[in-house]
Amino acid sequence: MINANHLMVFNSVASNLSFSRAAEELYTSQPSVSAQIKRLEEYLDISLFEQLGKKIVLTEAGTTLFLYSQKIFSLIDEGIHAIEELKGGSKGRLLLGASTTPGVYLLPKILGKFKSIYPGIVPKLEIANSQRIVEMVNTNKLDIGIVGEEIICPPELHVEPWLKDELFLVVPDKHPWVNKVSVHVRDLENEQFIFRERGSSTRSIIENLLDNHGLKVSIALELNNTEAVKQAVSAGLGVSIVSGFSVISNSGIVSIPIEGLGFYRMFNIIYHKNKIFSPATKSFSTFLKEVKRPRTI
């Protein structure tokens, strides 16, 4: 019969793809780990790992069991934390995720204010591109996510508009356009663009804008965060379109309006429709929605 210990040992070996590292993680011996895996394979009557040279890899059966074991331990962990939080109501964990712009430029200050009210709650913030945050919320690795509206979310997720973000064309401070009041959208076709990576909502906006106007631009560089994009623009490697939250008091670059375009997008709050919010998550969700008022940022 499979018990929790079998699954815990299997989960550790599968995560590390190493019997020795699993033994270290579980504070036991390697022979003990090997014996537990052998008993589990005998009970299931199927191999969970196979040896490829000096490495071990999961078999198809092993991969399937690993997915279920992760879900089981995630639920156990969630249950324990929920009980701990219910004891006091103002303590516990908070697993948040955000795309680069809200994660870097908005949430640190928001979390600072939240912590001043709820010092016993420990937030953990994951910053990645929007598509990755959607995936992590959908697989219950995050309680709440914040992403740009351009990213398509699966039907299992609740999506709620949160905060409006204005986007700006940015150029180096020595660019010929710096003294212009605005530029025409067609002028963009002659510029070298610096893009965020695919999966970024900002990149989706730029690509949609260009497509809607039938424009094709040259891509000089692709980078995986906004700060790197701004530094590349400042260095004269090209132009880009970035969040207004990221260009405040930024030296080396100049923001210029594009004629006839009001350039906005929404940041959305996302969470799984079946998610049972802990008291800590409920408190933060309520607090986050208050930030819709600009004076609270």
Identify the pLDDT of residue 250.
63
Counted residue by residue, the chain has a size of: 297
Tens of each residue's pLDDT in the chain, 297 residues? 778 888 899 999 999 999 999 999 889 999 999 999 999 999 999 999 998 888 899 999 999 999 999 888 888 888 877 676 666 556 778 899 999 889 998 999 999 999 998 888 889 999 998 889 999 999 989 999 999 887 788 999 999 999 988 888 899 988 999 888 888 888 888 889 999 888 888 888 888 878 888 888 888 899 988 889 999 999 999 999 888 888 765 668 888 888 867 678 889 999 999 888 888 888 899 999 887 654 445
Count Cβ atoms within 10 A of the Cβ of residue 241 and give its class: 0-12 exposed, 13-18 middle, 19 or more buried. Answer: buried
Element (H, E) at 55: strand 55-58
Query: Can you list the domains of the chain with their CATH numbers?
Result: 4-84 (1.10.10.10), 90-163+266-296 (3.40.190.10), 165-264 (3.40.190.10)
Identify the pLDDT of residue 42.
92
Q: What is the DSSP string of 183-230?
A: B-GGGGGGSEEEEEPTT-HHHHHHHHHHHHTT---EEEEEESSHHHHH
User: Contact, 123 vs 111, CB < 8 A?
Assistant: yes
Identify the pLDDT of residue 85.
62
146: which strand partners?
98, 269
Identify the pLDDT of residue 295.
44
Identify the pLDDT of residue 91.
73
